[in-house]
């Protein structure tokens, strides 16, 4: 009983300090920890905070950070824009498939410029609102069109699932898909589109300028790239893709074979630890796709 009373007193003190207008640093930590735990367990909407960055080449760039406590706050740096500019030239078209809140979309779009175009696909209805906010920023130096669909070879509906209640990151699955993406299921199903048909129907004039396809879709990356095979073969865009931790060794090798078969050289760029392409480790053999067991990113360049 004394231990229970002590525990209750501690909890009351913590709550009091969390509500205090000027808590000390230790209780700021507890406050943030409490917010993260709540975000994992209870669904709620979070807003965004716009920050601006003065860059050496591209001047002032704005970015909307999602206020979800589970998200790392991102800053826009010149090196990241320069990274994308190595393949995304001014006036070109880039695809950001699995754009999330726009953390890769914005620097990609700055590289493409206001006369270029980045199409940002994101089926997650929660983060899509933040993606839209980022699309409205930097209109003087970028052009972003958001698309609230998943990429597929056909139109169908999926469940959107995540491991935490705020849906900060997750994936889609249908009833026959055995993947475990988490216990939290969004109340409304999300829609997919045949992306190649969508592009041909709506952006045929921009397709000859296709410079980059970036795909990050929790294990669906290769399937999506396969649906774009004819565009890849015709326009030879650079490809940035995630090798998801849960895909099999066969799927990793199949991804290499797909890219190699289209005449691409593959680089392992880990987790963007450097924005200098010369620092990346080339994957010269298909067996090298099996060396890293966790998530990693590959950059495919036309040989």
Range scoring the smallest mean pLDDT among 72-86, 227-241, 272-286: 272-286
Average pLDDT (242-261) is: 94
> For 17-68, what is each residue's pLDDT tens digit?
555 555 667 666 667 776 777 767 777 888 999 999 999 999 999 999 999 8
Which residue, 107, 220, 103, is CA-closest to 170? 220
Q: Which residue has the higher pLDDT, 75 or 29?
A: 75
Residues 17/22/26/32 CA torsion (nearest 10 deg):
80
Q: What is the model's pLDDT at position 230?
A: 96
Interatomic CA distance for residues 188 and 208, integer angstroms: 36
Interatomic CA distance for residues 128 and 64, integer angstroms: 12
> For 86-98, what is each residue's pLDDT tens digit?
999 999 999 999 9
Helix axes 105-112, 78-85, angle to 10 degrees: 60
Interatomic CA distance for residues 76 and 10, integer angstroms: 41
Q: Which residue has the higher pLDDT, 156 or 210?
A: 210
Q: What is the model's pLDDT at position 9?
A: 46
End-to-end CA, the chain: 72
Contact 109, 139 (CB under 8 A): no
Q: How does residue 278 score in pLDDT terms, banded at 50, 70 and 90? A: low
Describe the chain by its helix, strand, coil percentages, rounded to 5.
35, 25, 40
What DSSP line would sit under 57-116, residue for residue?
Answer: TTEEEEEEEE--TTSPP----HHHHHHHHTT--TT-EEEEET-TTTTTHHHHHHHH-TTS
Interatomic CA distance for residues 255 and 292, integer angstroms: 14
Of the ranges 65-74, 109-118, 175-184, which is most confident? 109-118
Q: What is the model's pLDDT at position 270?
A: 65
Interatomic CA distance for residues 64 and 89, integer angstroms: 24
Interatomic CA distance for residues 286 and 270, integer angstroms: 16
- What residues form DSSP beta bridges with 49? 65
Q: What is the model's pLDDT at position 72?
A: 85
Interatomic CA distance for residues 299 and 302, integer angstroms: 10
Interatomic CA distance for residues 132 and 61, integer angstroms: 16
Alpha helices in the chain (DSSP H): 2-19, 25-41, 78-85, 105-112, 125-136, 195-202, 221-227, 229-235, 249-261
Domains annotated on the chain, with CATH: 2-41 (no CATH), 48-302 (3.40.50.150)
> For 181-237, what is each residue's pLDDT tens digit?
566 777 778 788 999 999 999 999 999 999 999 999 888 899 999 999 999 999 999
Rounded to two decimals, the pTM is 0.85
């Amino acid at each position: 009983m004394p231990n229970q009373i002590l525990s209750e007193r501690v909890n009351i003190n913590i709550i009091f300090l969390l509500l205090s207008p000027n808590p000390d640093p230790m209780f700021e930590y507890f406050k943030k920890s409490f917010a993260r735990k709540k975000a994992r367990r209870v669904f709620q909407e979070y807003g965004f905070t716009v920050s601006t960055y003065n860059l050496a080449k591209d001047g002032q760039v704005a970015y909307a950070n999602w206020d979800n406590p589970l998200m790392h706050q991102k800053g826009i740096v010149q090196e990241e824009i320069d990274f994308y500019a190595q393949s995304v030239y001014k006036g070109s078209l880039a695809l950001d498939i699995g754009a999330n809140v726009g953390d890769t979309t914005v620097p990609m779009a700055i590289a493409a410029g206001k006369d270029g175009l980045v199409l940002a696909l994101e089926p997650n209805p929660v983060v899509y609102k933040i993606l839209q906010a980022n699309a409205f920023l930097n209109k003087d130096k970028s052009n972003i069109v958001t698309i609230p669909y998943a990429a597929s070879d056909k139109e169908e509906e999926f469940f959107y699932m995540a491991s935490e209640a705020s849906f900060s990151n997750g994936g889609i699955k249908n009833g026959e898909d055995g993947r475990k993406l988490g216990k939290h299921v969004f109340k409304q199903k999300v829609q997919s589109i045949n992306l190649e048909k969508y592009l041909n129907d709506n952006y045929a004039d921009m397709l000859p300028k296709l410079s980059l396809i970036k795909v990050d879709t929790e294990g669906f990356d290769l399937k999506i790239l396969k649906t774009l095979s004819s565009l890849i073969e015709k326009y030879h865009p650079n490809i940035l893709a995630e090798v998801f931790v849960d895909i099999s060794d066969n799927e990793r090798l199949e991804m290499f074979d797909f890219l190699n078969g289209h005449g691409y050289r593959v680089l392992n760029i880990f987790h963007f630890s450097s924005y200098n392409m010369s620092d990346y480790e080339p994957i010269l053999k298909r067996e090298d796709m099996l060396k890293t067991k966790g998530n990693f990113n590959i950059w495919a360049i036309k040989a």
